[in-house]
Amino acid sequence: MGREEYQELVRSLTARLRRRGAGAGAQQELVSCSVLAANAGHNRDWSWPCDSEVGGFNPYGWNATDQARFTAVWCDAADDLVDELIEAYGAMWPWVCPSQLLTRLPDVAGAIRGLTEHRMIGQGHTYRDKPDSVYEHAAMYGAFHAARSRRVWPDSPRQVCPLCRAPFTGGQLNPWMIRQFGPARWCKQCCTGARDGNGALHTPAAARQAVVALAAALGTVPPQNFAQSPVAFDLPDRQRDAIVTAMAACPPAKTIRALHGTASWLDVLRTTEIVGDAWRPARGTYCSATDGHPCRSLAERTIDDWLTRHGISHQIEPLWPKHPRFNPHGRRRADWQFTDGTYLEYAGLNSDDYVAKIQAKQDLARATGIRLVVITPPDLANLTAVLGEWIPQSR
Ligand SMILES: [Zn+2]
């Protein structure tokens, strides 16, 4: 079923339900029908046409009461954030909304999560017992309807994949592709290929060559979890294309380790001569920023280099003050500290408990009275939006 047929079906169902003066039950029926219809074909479209009654993704029973309660904790600042996300991500903006609310507007995210913990919203969700899943869904669906009531945005346009020349639309990409690779650029097959890697390389020499090629594309030592790492959004497009191509040509880290008969990624790297024998990573350090600061990931290097480029002076790894509950041994460190005392942390989103992890950092910051900014992969597309106030000339 194509996009137009689907929209027509939703329109007719909506009109029919309106004529009957339909209640919540009938609305739910509409939601289920339209989602089934949209997902029936091979050419599944996950995007969120702004004129849609339901959005383009499984609403997991999200209903009018959920929306009313959600809207009660929404605010103007959240509208502004959504406008910014629409600029960067087009119709795919809701996929990055949960993490962005969490780090940019923690109070709003906290209120939404509070509603989920008290089972006041999202109880039609398959995983209603998991507040983080319900939060994530609410932050997408509730925000979608809140934004739809006040503005429109362009539908996901047809584009051509620069790697394989296949035509596609951003709406065909899965949510994780948007989170890992940023605004739609590569087709679904190429995104999947980059994550899954090359299963056809079966000699250590060929695998080593692929790792060396990946290191060259990245401009740094590939971390062991390279297949799940976000491709830094602010690199030139040609380099980003080269990284995704090299990821697809590289076997999974597990295969590479097995081919070399070692459990250690560092051992593999030593055999490639990407790193010398004397090289020892400290605390998982894999590369250095241009100012010499050690970084644990390419994302950290992207941020550190961005700070340097914009003349923002920064210290690395400041200790958090001791706190009886949140930092009892006084050993926890943040990633960076600015001269005004603000702490900066980078949080990848590739663990299931990222909401809890980020909230723990925020709790510690609140308890110690330190201002904290948390950066997540979607922020790498536009660090100025998050860190602009620290650029010297704008103060
Ligand atoms: Zn492609």
Is a pLDDT exceeding 70 seen at residue 394?
A: no
pLDDT at residue 258 in the model: 94
CA 189 to ligand 1 center in whole angstroms: 6
> What is the 8-class DSSP label of residue 342?
-
DSSP 3-state of 136: helix
pLDDT at residue 277 in the model: 52
CA 216 to ligand 1 center in whole angstroms: 21
pLDDT at residue 284 in the model: 58
pLDDT at residue 268 in the model: 87
CA 166 to ligand 1 center in whole angstroms: 6
CA 170 to ligand 1 center in whole angstroms: 12
Band (5; pLDDT cuts 50, 70, 90): low
CA 194 to ligand 1 center in whole angstroms: 10
43 or 392, greater pLDDT: 392
CA 340 to ligand 1 center in whole angstroms: 45
> What SS3 string covers 267-306?
HHHHHHCCCCCCCCCCCCCCEECCCCCEECCHHHHHHHHH
Band (302; pLDDT cuts 50, 70, 90): confident
DSSP 3-state of 357: helix
Cβ neighbours for 178, distance < 8 A, ≥ 6 positions apart: 89, 92, 95, 96, 170, 184
Is a pLDDT exceeding 70 seen at residue 222?
A: yes
Q: What value does the mean pLDDT take over residues 162-170?
A: 94
CA 45 to ligand 1 center in whole angstroms: 17
Please classify residue 192 by burial: count the beta carbons closer than 10 Å to its beta carbon, then call 0-12 exposed, 13-18 middle and 19+ buried. Answer: middle
CA 179 to ligand 1 center in whole angstroms: 17
CA distance 66 to 142: 8
User: Across the strands, what pairs with 193?
Assistant: none
CA distance 297 to 376: 13
196 or 272, greater pLDDT: 196
CA angle at 276 for the pair 275 and 282, rounded to the nearest 5°: 70
Band (47; pLDDT cuts 50, 70, 90): confident
pLDDT at residue 40 in the model: 46
Band (336; pLDDT cuts 50, 70, 90): very high
102 or 41, greater pLDDT: 102
**Segment 224-236, tens digit of pLDDT:** 889 988 887 777 8
CA distance 358 to 374: 8
pLDDT at residue 234 in the model: 72
Tell me the one-letter amino acid at 297.
S
- Tell me how far CA of residue 40 lies from CA of 33, 51, 52, 204, 214, in angstroms: 10, 20, 17, 43, 38
CA 1 to ligand 1 center in whole angstroms: 23
- Positive or negative CA dihedral for 322, 323, 328, 332? negative
CA 245 to ligand 1 center in whole angstroms: 10
Q: In what order do the strands lie in the sheet with 372-375?
A: 314-316, 336-338, 343-346, 372-375
63 or 19, greater pLDDT: 63
CA 199 to ligand 1 center in whole angstroms: 18
CA 143 to ligand 1 center in whole angstroms: 30
CA 356 to ligand 1 center in whole angstroms: 35
Of 289, 243, 292, 286, residue with least CA distance to 265: 286
SS3 content of the chain, % helix, strand, coil (to 5): 55, 5, 40
Q: Average pLDDT, whole number, for the chain?
A: 85
CA 52 to ligand 1 center in whole angstroms: 28
Token pair belonging to 226: 């390279």
CA 162 to ligand 1 center in whole angstroms: 7
Band (97; pLDDT cuts 50, 70, 90): very high
Q: pLDDT over 90 for what percent of the chain?
A: 54
Q: What value does the mean pLDDT take over residues 203-224?
A: 87
Band (342; pLDDT cuts 50, 70, 90): very high
Cβ neighbours for 390, distance < 8 A, ≥ 6 positions apart: 310, 312, 338, 340, 342
Is a pLDDT exceeding 90 seen at residue 240?
A: yes
Q: Which of 73-82, 266-275, 330-339 has the lowest mean pLDDT?
A: 266-275
Is a pLDDT exceeding 70 seen at residue 276?
A: no
Taking a 5 Å cut-off on Cβ, the residues next to ion ligand 1 are: 161, 163-164, 166, 187, 190
Domains and CATH numbers, the chain: 3-156 (no CATH), 164-280 (no CATH), 294-394 (3.40.960.10)
pLDDT at residue 52 in the model: 84
* Helix extents (H) in 41-96: 64-73, 76-89
> Do 358 and 98 form a contact (C-beta atoms < 8 A)?
no
CA 219 to ligand 1 center in whole angstroms: 23
pLDDT at residue 153 in the model: 93
CA 168 to ligand 1 center in whole angstroms: 9
pLDDT at residue 1 in the model: 43
Q: What value does the mean pLDDT take over residues 44-59?
A: 81
- Tell me how far CA of residue 250 lies from CA of 97, 101, 150, 242, 264, in angstroms: 31, 34, 45, 12, 17
CA 187 to ligand 1 center in whole angstroms: 4
Of 223, 280, 230, residue with least CA distance to 256: 223
Is a pLDDT exceeding 50 seen at residue 132?
A: yes
pTM for the complete prediction? Answer: 0.76
Band (106; pLDDT cuts 50, 70, 90): very high
- Tell me how far CA of residue 289 lies from CA of 105, 116, 155, 316, in angstroms: 29, 40, 38, 11
Is a pLDDT exceeding 50 seen at residue 39?
A: no
CA 218 to ligand 1 center in whole angstroms: 19
> Do 135 and 60 form a contact (C-beta atoms < 8 A)?
no
pLDDT at residue 252 in the model: 95
CA 156 to ligand 1 center in whole angstroms: 17
Cβ neighbours for 226, distance < 8 A, ≥ 6 positions apart: 214, 218, 247, 250, 253
**Segment 244-256, tens digit of pLDDT:** 999 999 999 999 9
